[in-house]
């Protein structure tokens, strides 16, 4: 599993079909021709770094919308966990459940990680900026949460 490939910038982003908050299923192609997509992968619902990242996107959600973009958060937690996370922090954008890590793997975000000297498979915090045509425009690997949502918002303005 160590030869995980990230899709190349400038090519069509891999489509997905995932269950998410609000009892809906989300597909990349439902936004094609309509909105830019900020697809961010995070390790786990309701953990300190993931909460900080989600709340930063929440706080800028109106500005993302004004720039013609939708924010979608993806992790391996189930929909019930996502619903509780969204409700607890008033998250106004969809959270998607990738329980089998298929989509995370296709985007190259599910990979071998290491913490406290132990290796394990998990989602590395990664964000993908996808334009209205479904083309991958920018990848933010191994994201540092501090200032990340503002950086993505600024980059959307140039699409």
The reply to whether 55 belongs to the active site is no
**Given 18, 37, 38, 50, the catalytic residue:** 50
Q: Is residue 2 in some structural domain?
A: no
Label residue 5 by pLDDT band (50, 70, 90): confident
Would residue 5 count as lying in a domain?
Answer: no
In a domain, 12, yes or no: no
46-58 pLDDT, tens per residue?
A: 999 999 999 999 9
Residues 132-139 have a mean pLDDT of 97
In the block, which residue shows the tokens 């991958």?
Answer: 136
Please check whether residue 48 lies inside any domain of the structure.
yes
Provide the domain limits for residue 44.
34-156
Q: Is residue 149 part of a domain?
A: yes
Residue 92 lies in a domain: yes
Q: What CATH code is carried by the domain that includes residue 76?
A: 3.40.30.10
> Is 14 among the domain residues?
no
Contact 97, 64 (CB under 8 A): no
Mean pLDDT of the 66-92 span: 98
Whole-prediction pTM: 0.95
> Phi then psi for 66, rounded to 5 degrees?
-65, -25
- Average pLDDT over every residue of 114-133: 95
Q: Report whether pLDDT(37) > 80.
A: yes
Mean pLDDT of 148-153: 97
The band of 4, judged by pLDDT with boundaries at 50, 70 and 90, is low
The tally of domains found in the chain comes to 1
Average pLDDT of the chain to the nearest whole number: 95
Domain annotation covers residue 147: yes
């Amino acid at each position: 599993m160590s030869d995980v490939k990230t899709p190349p910038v400038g090519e069509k982003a891999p489509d997905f079909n995932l269950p998410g908050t609000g009892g809906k299923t989300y597909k990349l192609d439902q936004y094609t021709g309509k909105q830019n997509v900020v697809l961010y992968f995070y390790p786990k619902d309701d953990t300190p770094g993931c909460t900080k990242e989600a709340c930063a996107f929440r706080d800028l959600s109106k500005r993302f919308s004004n720039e013609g973009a939708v924010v979608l958060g993806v992790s391996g937690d189930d929909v019930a966990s996502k619903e509780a996370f969204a409700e607890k922090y008033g998250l106004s954008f969809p959270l998607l459940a990738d329980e089998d890590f298929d989509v995370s793997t296709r985007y190259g975000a599910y990979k071998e990680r290491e913490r406290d000297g132990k290796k394990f498979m998990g989602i590395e915090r990664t964000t993908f900026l996808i334009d209205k045509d479904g083309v991958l425009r920018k990848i933010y690997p191994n994201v540092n949460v501090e200032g990340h949502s503002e950086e993505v918002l600024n980059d959307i303005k140039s699409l």
